[in-house]
């Protein structure tokens, strides 16, 4: 990002254009826009950890907490989502800390970290299913509908919801910016590179990892909460567990997890691709869209691990020595 | 002792056999190639469809369909390695894991495309054996013994044959073995075929007990990974023991609590164990 005034002006103009977007779109495209913005937030949240080699395969856990807690509070106690969502985020962060603290303390990394998080995603999924008395189990549940209400965050027009989601997404981008420009990024990159060495130069490895994990999981929970409020329907499979956790990982990687707008591009790409293929194939070939999507993912990970944005950056930028943000490829053994 | 508790323990033992069988192939792949096939459960799913299709649609004899399914598993295993893993063998392990994850989506969606999302079964109902007041599922009993047979055969192959020795040697030190004249590439392809074939074998036994649908891999995939990691990734005997521990937690837990709670207990046990003993129960 060029920090110059010109760059900033472009940024504000782009933001204004984004804010005005729904007024130019039909209801169907508004629906797509809301989905894209919400998932962009979730993917950005995941990439905050993913880019530093904290590969979580269990972000569905935090998505699930974010989705269910505000709805349960609203349905059972009439607590407004404006309080319920922060509560859900706090709970998600707490959950992340309970699992993250021992993981980081005992240096669980790589495969093992990925598989612990995968298990965590399953735990949340199973708890939601097991608590079917209050969550409806596999059948899912709906927030108690009260018609158009800001208090209940149930907005009948998509443009209003889009505005809310866009605000949340901006929060995610701001968090990314904060990490990118603060002392956190070099510290976390050093940790991703070599934990022992980072500790030796005085980086508090545990604290840095916990901080980025808290940020990442809190934003993911926020995204989950907004998605549930928007759809007005929750079910355990689409809100937690392995399937959705992997979807988060892949969309973020496809877009480019090392760039601020990479995950957002990933959300645009995956959602538009999915819709496009769905329209193209109609309902005759259920699964065709995802088959192509799956094949593309494999191609992405093999040939362009930095995603779409990474590829674009490489094509635009003049050749220069790889910056510190470059992914470290292990030497072939 | 409570008769139902005894029944739960015995059924847990049999479930352990199925889990052990599932974990064999995954463990072999990890131990030798040092790659986690997140797609493993989906290979099992594909082979289950293979059995279903050959048996129900083309009316092959069941045994022949099962042999074919093992072949299908082996073929997919080779393809996974040659197409996906080989090009990125040198990159970060987590990338390899994620690449096979992309394959997971691919196989799942392909199955949806080809077979739809219906639950399908062979329409074979194997008898339930009754000993005293205890009911034991016959298909689980077969799975249990096949797991034992599979494990013993794999052990003999690895311990007694030249190829098996080469595979074990590669697992121990991949750099030196190249110098010793072992063709690393060939060994990896063969290992992948065996790993996929074991997935096919597991599929033959699972298809007797469960309905096939495109997302069935998500139901037992996580448990399979858990078993492998708990036993120490790449450690076959550890995997076997872990399979029985996990299955007992699920079975006995399921006796006292709802089954989801029992599974939660198993996953929590797994998370705690990974923190306490990341090298697995039999690790050094």
pLDDT at A318: 57
Note whether A193 and A329 are within 8 A (CB): no
Mutate to test the interface with A, among B274, B279, B283 (most CBs of A within 10 A): B274
As a whole number of angstroms, the distance between CA A10 and CA A319 comes to 25
CB nearest A295 (choices: B90, B106, B218) = B106
Nearest Cα to A210, choosing from A324, A99, A133, A293?
A99
Q: Residue A235: left (phi > 0), alpha (psi -120 to 50), or beta?
A: beta
pLDDT (tens digit per residue) in A55-109: 999 999 999 999 999 999 999 999 999 999 999 999 999 999 999 999 998 888 8
pLDDT (tens digit per residue) in B14-27: 888 888 888 888 98
pLDDT at A328: 45
**Tokens (6 digits) for A292:** 């192509």
Number of domains present in the structure of chain A: 1
Residue B60 has pLDDT above 50, yes or no: yes
Q: Using a CB-CB distance cutoff of 8 angstroms, which residues of chain A are in contact with residue B225? A: 115, 118
CB nearest A249 (choices: B98, B229, B268) = B98
> Structural domain of residue A157, as residue ranges?
11-316
Mutate to test the interface with A, among B113, B114, B257 (most CBs of A within 10 A): B113
Note whether A130 and B258 are within 8 A (CB): yes
pLDDT at B283: 63
Q: Inspect the interface and report whether the beta carbons of B102 and A300 lie closer than 8 Å.
A: yes
Mutate to test the interface with B, among A114, A119, A249 (most CBs of B within 10 A): A119
Q: What is the mean pLDDT of residues B186-191?
A: 91
Nearest Cα to A174, choosing from A6, A10, A5, A15?
A15
The CA angle A309-A314-A320, to the nearest 5 degrees, is 140
List the alpha helices (DSSP H) in A182-306.
184-193, 195-200, 205-231, 236-239, 242-255, 262-281, 288-303
Q: Inspect the interface and report whether the beta carbons of A119 and B92 lie closer than 8 Å.
A: no
Q: Inspect the interface and report whether the beta carbons of A242 and B221 lie closer than 8 Å.
A: yes
Minimum distance, in Å, between the CA of residue B235 and any CA atom of chain A: 15
A47 vs B3, higher pLDDT: A47
The sign of the CA dihedral A197, A202, A205, A208 is negative
Q: A71-88 burial, b if ≥16 CB within 10 A, otherwise e?
A: bbbbeeeeeebeebbebb
Residues whose CB is less than 8 angstroms from the CB of residue A287 and which lie 6 or more positions away in sequence, other chains included? B109, B110, B111, B112, B113, B114, B214
Residues whose CB is less than 8 angstroms from the CB of residue A36 and which lie 6 or more positions away in sequence, other chains included? A264, A267, A268, A271, A272
Top CATH class of B3-276 equals mainly alpha
Q: What is the DSSP letter of B136?
A: E
Reported as a pLDDT band with limits 50, 70 and 90, residue B192 is very high
**Tokens (6 digits) for A173:** 């981008």
B120 vs A91, higher pLDDT: A91
> Per-domain residue ranges for chain B?
3-276
Backbone angles phi, psi at A291, to 5 degrees: -65, -45
Least confident span in A61-70, A321-330, B99-108, B114-123: A321-330
B247 vs A4, higher pLDDT: B247
Strand partners, B134: B131
Run of H or E including B245: helix B236-256
CA A88 to chain centre: 16
Run of H or E including B130: strand B128-131
List the alpha helices (DSSP H) in A51-157.
59-77, 81-105, 110-130, 132-135
The share of chain B scoring above pLDDT 90, in percent, equals 30
CB nearest B102 (choices: A123, A243, A294) = A294
Q: Please, what is the average pLDDT of chain A?
A: 87
Mutate to test the interface with B, among A129, A298, A306 (most CBs of B within 10 A): A298
A317 vs B98, higher pLDDT: B98
As a whole number of angstroms, the distance between CA B124 and CA B133 comes to 24
pLDDT at A330: 44
As a whole number of angstroms, the distance between CA B222 and CA B246 comes to 12
Q: How far is residue A238 from each of residues A30, A231, A233, A298, B127, measured CA to CA in Å?
A: 21, 12, 10, 22, 36
Q: Inspect the interface and report whether the beta carbons of A55 and B94 lie closer than 8 Å.
A: yes
pLDDT (tens digit per residue) in A220-276: 999 999 999 999 999 998 888 888 998 899 899 889 899 999 999 999 998 998 888
Q: Inspect the interface and report whether the beta carbons of A114 and B94 lie closer than 8 Å.
A: yes
pLDDT at B279: 73
Q: Which of residues 186-245 of B touch A (CB under 8 A)?
A: 214-215, 218, 221-222, 225-226, 229, 233
Reported as a pLDDT band with limits 50, 70 and 90, residue B30 is confident
The domain that holds A201 is classified in CATH as: 1.10.3470
Q: Examine residue A322 and state whether it is found in any structural domain, yes or no.
A: no
CB nearest B261 (choices: A115, A120, A130) = A130
Q: What is the mean pLDDT of residues A282-310?
A: 81
């Amino acid at each position: 990002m060029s920090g110059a005034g010109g760059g900033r002006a472009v940024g504000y103009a782009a933001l204004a254009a984004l804010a005005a977007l729904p007024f130019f779109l039909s209801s169907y495209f508004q629906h797509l826009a809301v989905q894209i913005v919400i998932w962009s937030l979730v993917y950005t949240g995941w990439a905050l950890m993913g880019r530093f080699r904290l590969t979580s395969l269990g972000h569905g856990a935090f998505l699930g907490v974010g989705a269910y807690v505000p709805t349960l509070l609203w349905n059972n106690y009439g607590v407004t989502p404006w309080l319920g969502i922060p509560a859900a985020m706090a709970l998600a962060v707490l959950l992340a800390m309970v699992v993250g603290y021992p993981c980081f303390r005992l240096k669980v990394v790589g495969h093992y970290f990925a598989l612990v998080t995968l298990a965590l995603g399953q735990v949340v999924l199973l708890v939601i299913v097991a608590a079917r008395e209050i969550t409806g189990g596999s059948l899912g549940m709906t927030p108690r509908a009260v018609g158009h209400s800001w208090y209940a965050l149930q907005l009948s027009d998509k443009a209003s919801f889009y505005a809310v989601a866009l605000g949340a997404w901006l929060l995610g981008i701001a968090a990314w910016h904060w990490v990118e420009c603060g002392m956190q990024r070099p510290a976390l990159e050093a940790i991703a590179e070599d934990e022992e060495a980072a500790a030796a130069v005085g980086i508090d490895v545990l604290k840095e990892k916990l901080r980025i994990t808290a940020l990442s999981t809190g934003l993911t929970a926020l995204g989950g909460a907004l998605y549930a409020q928007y759809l007005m329907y929750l079910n355990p499979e689409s809100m937690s567990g392995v399937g959705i956790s992997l979807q988060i990982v892949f969309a973020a990687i496809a877009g480019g997890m090392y760039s601020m707008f990479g995950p957002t591009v990933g959300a645009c790409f995956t959602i538009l691709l999915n819709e496009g293929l769905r329209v193209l194939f109609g309902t005759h070939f259920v699964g065709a869209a995802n088959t192509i999507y799956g094949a593309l993912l494999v191609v992405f990970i093999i040939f362009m691990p930095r995603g779409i944005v990474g590829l674009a950056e490489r094509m635009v930028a003049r050749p220069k020595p790889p910056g510190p943000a470059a992914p470290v490829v292990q030497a072939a053994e | 002792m409570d008769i139902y508790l005894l029944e739960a323990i015995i059924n847990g033992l049999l479930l352990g056999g199925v889990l052990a069988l599932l974990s064999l192939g995954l463990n072999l792949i990890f131990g030798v190639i040092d790659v986690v096939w997140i797609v493993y459960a989906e290979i099992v799913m594909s082979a289950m469809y293979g059995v279903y299709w050959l048996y129900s649609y083309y009316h092959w004899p069941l045994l022949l369909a099962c042999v074919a399914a093992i072949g299908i598993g082996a073929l997919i295993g080779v393809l996974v390695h040659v197409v996906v893993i080989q090009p990125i063998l040198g990159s970060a392990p987590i990338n390899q894991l994620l690449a096979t994850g992309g394959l997971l989506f691919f196989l799942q969606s392909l199955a949806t495309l080809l077979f739809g999302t219906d639950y399908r079964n062979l329409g074979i109902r194997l008898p339930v054996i009754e000993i005293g007041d205890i009911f034991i599922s016959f298909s689980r009993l077969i799975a249990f013994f096949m797991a034992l047979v599979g494990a013993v055969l794999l052990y003999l192959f690895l311990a007694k044959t030249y190829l098996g020795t080469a595979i074990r040697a590669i697992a121990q030190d991949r750099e030196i073995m190249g110098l010793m004249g072992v063709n690393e590439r060939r060994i990896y392809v063969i290992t992948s075929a065996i790993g996929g074939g074991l997935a096919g074998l597991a599929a033959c036994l699972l298809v007797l007990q469960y309905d096939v649908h495109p997302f069935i891999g998500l139901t037992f995939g996580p448990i399979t990974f858990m078993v492998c990691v708990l036993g120490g990734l790449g450690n076959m005997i550890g995997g076997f023991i872990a399979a029985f521990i996990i299955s007992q937690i699920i079975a006995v837990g399921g006796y006292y609590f709802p089954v989801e709670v029992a599974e939660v207990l198993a996953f929590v046990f797994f998370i705690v164990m990974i923190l306490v003993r990341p090298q697995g129960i039999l690790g050094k």
